[in-house]
Amino acid sequence: MISTLFNRPLFIAAILSLAGCFIPAIQAKDLLSRGAAIYKKQCLDCHGPNGEAVEDKTDDPLYGNRDLTSLAKRIVRTMPEDEEDLCVGDDAKAVAAYIHDAFYSLAARARNTPARIETARLTVPQYRSSVADLVGGFRNNYASPLGKDRGLSVTYTGTPPKKNKKDKKKQQHIKGRDAQIKFNFGEQLPEKLRGKNLTKEKFSVKWEGTLIAEETGTYEFVIRTRNGARFYINQQHWWDSKKSGKAAIDAQVASDNKVREEKVRVFLLGGRAYPMALTYFKFKEKLASIELLWKPPHGSLKVIPERNLYPWGVPESLVVNTPFPADDRSVGYERGTQMSKAWLEAVTQGGILTANYVAKNIDELAKTKKDAPDRVKKIQSFGLAFIESAFRRPLTDRQRQQISEIFFKNSPSPEQTSKRLVIFALTSPRFLYPDLPLADETDPYRIASRLALTLWDSLPDKQLTDAAKEGQLKTAQQVEQQAARMVAHPRTREKMHGFFHHWLELDRADNVAKDNKTFPDYDESLLSDLRSSLFLFLDDTVWNNDKSDYRQLLLADYLYLDERLAKLYGLKAPAPTAGFQRVSADPKRRAGIITHPYLLTTLAYHNSTSPIHRGVFLTRNILGMSLKSPPTANKFEPAKFDPTLTMREKVADMTRSKACMACHVTINPLGFSLEHYDGLGRWQVKDHNKTIDSSSKFKTASGETIQLNGARDVAKLAADHPLAHRSFIQQLFHHSVKQPALAYGPDTMTKLEKQFTDSGYDIRALLKNIATTASTKGVPTPDSDS
Amino acid sequence: MKRRQFIRDLGISTATLPFLSGLPGLRAEAKSAGPKKRLIIMFSPNGTIPDAFWPKAEGANFDLPPILEPLKAFQKQMLVLNGVYNKLQGDGDRHMRGMSCLLTGAPLFPGNIQGGSDTPAGWASDLSIDQKLKNFYQSKDDTKTRFGSLEFGVAVPNRADPWTRMVYAGPNKPVAPIADPKQMLNKIYGGMKDKKSVVSILDNLKGDLQQASKKLGKEDRSLLEEHLTLVREMESELKQSSSKSKLDHPVPDIDPNVELLNDNTPKISRMQIDLLVNAMANDMTRIATLQYMRSVGQARMHWMDIDDGHHGLSHEPDDNKEAVKKLIKINRWFSTELAYLTERLQKTPEPGGDGSMLDHTLIVWVNELGKGNTHTLDNIPFVLIGGKNHGIKTGRHLKVDKAAHNRLLMSIAQSMDLPLKSFGAKKHCEGGALGLG
First-last CA distance in chain B: 28
Q: Residue B25: pLDDT above 50? A: no
* pLDDT-based confidence at residue A106 (cuts at 50, 70, 90): confident
Question: pTM for the full model?
Answer: 0.79
Length of chain B: 437
Bigger pLDDT: B240 vs B63? B63
**Residues 108..127 of A with a Cβ closer than 8 Å to B: which?**
118-121
Question: B233 in contact with A at a CB cutoff of 8 Å?
Answer: yes
Q: Nearest CA to B60 among B393, B415, B436?
A: B393
Question: A255 in contact with B at a CB cutoff of 8 Å?
Answer: yes
**Tell me: the pLDDT tens digits for A715-768?**
999 999 999 999 999 999 999 999 999 899 889 999 999 999 999 999 999 999
Q: From the list A119, A246, A427, which residue is nearest B205 (CB)? A: A427
User: What is the CB neighbour count within 10 angstroms for residue A326?
Assistant: 11
How many degrees, rounded to 5, is the angle at CA A677 between CA A673 and CA A681? 135
Q: Where are the domains of chain B?
A: 1-31+191-252, 38-180+260-428
Chain A hits for B110, Cβ within 8 Å = 255-257
**Residues 115..134 of B with a Cβ closer than 8 Å to A: which?**
120-123, 125
**Residues 260..279 of A with a Cβ closer than 8 Å to B: which?**
260
Q: Where are the domains of chain A?
A: 2-112, 124-140+326-486, 152-310, 505-720, 723-777
Question: A707 in contact with B at a CB cutoff of 8 Å?
Answer: no
ipTM exceeding cut-off 0.85 for this assembly: no
Q: Rounded CA gap, A135 and A140, in Å?
A: 11
Q: From the list B19, B120, B224, which residue is nearest A284 (CB)? A: B120
- B162 to A253: CB separation less than 8 angstroms, yes or no: yes
Q: From the list B113, B221, B256, which residue is nearest A253 (CB)? A: B113
Q: Please report which residue ranges of A307-413 form alpha helices under DSSP H.
A: 341-360, 362-365, 375-391, 397-403
Q: Nearest CA to A480 among A159, A775, A213, A693?
A: A775
Chain B interface, best mutation among A227, A244, A253, A398, by max B CB count within 10 A: A253
Q: Rounded CA gap, A68 and A93, in Å?
A: 8
**Residues 356..395 of A with a Cβ closer than 8 Å to B: which?**
356
Element (H, E) at A451: helix A444-456
* pLDDT-based confidence at residue A137 (cuts at 50, 70, 90): very high
What does the pLDDT read at residue A668?
95
User: What is the CB neighbour count within 10 angstroms for residue B106?
Assistant: 23
Q: Rounded CA gap, B358 and B340, in Å?
A: 12
- B215 to A430: CB separation less than 8 angstroms, yes or no: no
What does the pLDDT read at residue A377?
94
B44 close to B367: Cβ distance less than 8 angstroms? yes
A292 close to A215: Cβ distance less than 8 angstroms? no
3-state SS track over A120-154: CCCCHHHHHHHHHHHHHCCCCCCCCCCCCCCCEEE
- How does B297-329 read in b/e, with b if 16+ C-beta sit within 10 Å? bbbbbeeeebebebbebbebeeeeeebbebbbb
What does the pLDDT read at residue A456?
97
- CATH topology for B38-180+260-428 is Alkaline Phosphatase, subunit A (3.40.720)
What does the pLDDT read at residue A591?
97
A306 close to A224: Cβ distance less than 8 angstroms? no
- Chain A, nearest residue to B175 by Cα: A250
Question: B243 in contact with A at a CB cutoff of 8 Å?
Answer: no
Q: Rounded CA gap, A664 and A631, in Å?
A: 12
- Chain A, nearest residue to B198 by Cα: A423
- A285 to B21: CB separation less than 8 angstroms, yes or no: no
- A415 to B112: CB separation less than 8 angstroms, yes or no: no
Q: How far is A430 from chain B (nearest CA, A)?
A: 8
- B198 to A351: CB separation less than 8 angstroms, yes or no: yes
- Note the Cα A144 to chain centre separation in Å: 22
What does the pLDDT read at residue A785?
40
A666 close to A705: Cβ distance less than 8 angstroms? no
Question: A152-310 has which CATH code?
Answer: 2.60.120.1560
Q: Rounded CA gap, B312 and A536, in Å?
A: 60
Q: Rounded CA gap, A79 and A88, in Å?
A: 9
Q: Nearest CA to A766 among A731, A722, A716, A718?
A: A731
- Based on the number of CB atoms within 10 Å of its own CB, is B85 exposed (0-12), middle (13-18) or buried (19 or more)? buried
Q: Which residues contact A37 (CB under 8 A, 6 or more apart)?
A: none
DSSP B336-397: HHHHHHHHHHHHSBPTTSSSBTGGGEEEEEE-S-SBTTTTB-SS--EEEEE-GGGT---SEE
A762 close to A548: Cβ distance less than 8 angstroms? yes
**Residues 420..459 of A with a Cβ closer than 8 Å to B: which?**
420, 423-424, 427-430, 433, 436-438
Q: Rounded CA gap, A151 and A310, in Å?
A: 5
- Top-level class of domain A2-112: mainly alpha
**Tell me: the pLDDT tens digits for B70-122?**
999 999 999 999 999 999 998 889 999 999 999 999 999 988 888 777 788 89
User: What is the CB neighbour count within 10 angstroms for residue A419?
Assistant: 28
Q: How far is B113 from chain A (nearest CA, A)?
A: 7
Q: Rounded CA gap, A737 and A332, in Å?
A: 13
- A284 to B114: CB separation less than 8 angstroms, yes or no: yes
Q: From the list B112, B161, B205, which residue is nearest A428 (CB)? A: B205
- Chain B, nearest residue to A243 by Cα: B158
Give chain B's count of helices (H) and strands (E). Answer: 10, 11
Share of chain B above pLDDT 70, in %: 90
Chain A hits for B158, Cβ within 8 Å = 241-242, 246
- A256 to B215: CB separation less than 8 angstroms, yes or no: no
Helix (H, G, I), strand (E, B) or coil at A477: helix
What does the pLDDT read at residue A143?
86
Q: Which residues contact B124 (CB under 8 A, 6 or more apart)?
A: B100, B101, B104, B106, B107, B108, B109, B162, B165, B168, B171, B172, B174
Question: B162 in contact with A at a CB cutoff of 8 Å?
Answer: yes
Q: Residue A25: pLDDT above 60? A: no
- A429 to B161: CB separation less than 8 angstroms, yes or no: no
Bigger pLDDT: A1 vs A374? A374
Q: From the list A119, A242, A253, which residue is nearest B223 (CB)? A: A119
Pairing of strands A558-561, A309-310: unpaired
Q: Which amino acid is at B219?
A: E
* pLDDT-based confidence at residue A778 (cuts at 50, 70, 90): confident
Q: How far is A739 from chain B (nearest CA, A)?
A: 14
Question: B208 in contact with A at a CB cutoff of 8 Å?
Answer: yes
What does the pLDDT read at residue B378?
95
User: What is the CB neighbour count within 10 angstroms for residue B417?
Assistant: 16
Mean pLDDT, chain B, integer: 87
B392 close to B405: Cβ distance less than 8 angstroms? no
Bigger pLDDT: A181 vs B7? A181
Q: Nearest CA to A762 among A549, A451, A496, A526?
A: A549
Q: Residue B389: pLDDT above 70? A: yes
Share of chain A above pLDDT 70, in %: 94
Range scoring the smallest mean pLDDT among A116-120, A383-387, A754-758, B417-421? A116-120
Q: From the list B125, B220, B230, which residue is nearest A344 (CB)? A: B230
Q: Rounded CA gap, A411 and A431, in Å?
A: 24
